[in-house]
Amino acid sequence: DVVMTQSPLSLPVTLGQPASISCRSSQSLVHSDGNTYLTWFQQRPGQSPRRLIYKVSNRDSGVPDRFSGSGSGTDFTLKISRVEAEDVGVYYCMQGTQWPPWTFGQGTKVEIK
């Protein structure tokens, strides 16, 4: 199974400042079709998760452009350019290249300092 490792697990951030979350996979996430199936989800307190970014860097509809995804191979990053109060929650990366199983990272809790 592909193991997904996120860091940090807790990220206190000042409003208006940038934030960055790292996600590393135990194997390359490049699929034989040429795509890299790395997805980021946001779970706000008390809510269901929602997808933010798919295939490394593609933002979902309605996701603010302060969120961006990057990376390749086994190293990936989610960046928030300027953290807002509504960004508080837990962020998960997930791989969908080598399945089953689809595997998630442990989650990174973003909170306001």
Partner 1 sequence: EVQLLESGGGLVQPGGSLRLSCAASGFTFRNSWMHWVRQAPGEGLVWVSHINTDGSSTSYADSVKGRFTISKDNAKNTLYLQMNSLRAEDTAVYYCLRNFDSWGRGTLVTVSS
Site residues for partner 1 per CB under 8 A? 39, 41, 43, 48-51, 54, 60, 90, 92, 94, 96, 99-107
Could you give the CA distance from residue 44 to residue 99 in angstroms, rounded to a whole number?
A: 27
H helix and E strand count, the chain: 0, 11
Nearer of residues 14 and 27 to partner 1, judged by Cβ: 27
Residue 15 beta carbon to partner 1: minimum distance, rounded to whole angstroms? 26
Residue 92 beta carbon to partner 1: minimum distance, rounded to whole angstroms? 6
Residue 13: count other Cβ atoms within 10 Å of its Cβ. 18
Cβ contact 6:77 at 8 Å = no
Nearer of residues 74 and 92 to partner 1, judged by Cβ: 92
Residue 7 beta carbon to partner 1: minimum distance, rounded to whole angstroms? 14
Hunting for tokens 């973003």 — which residue is that? 110
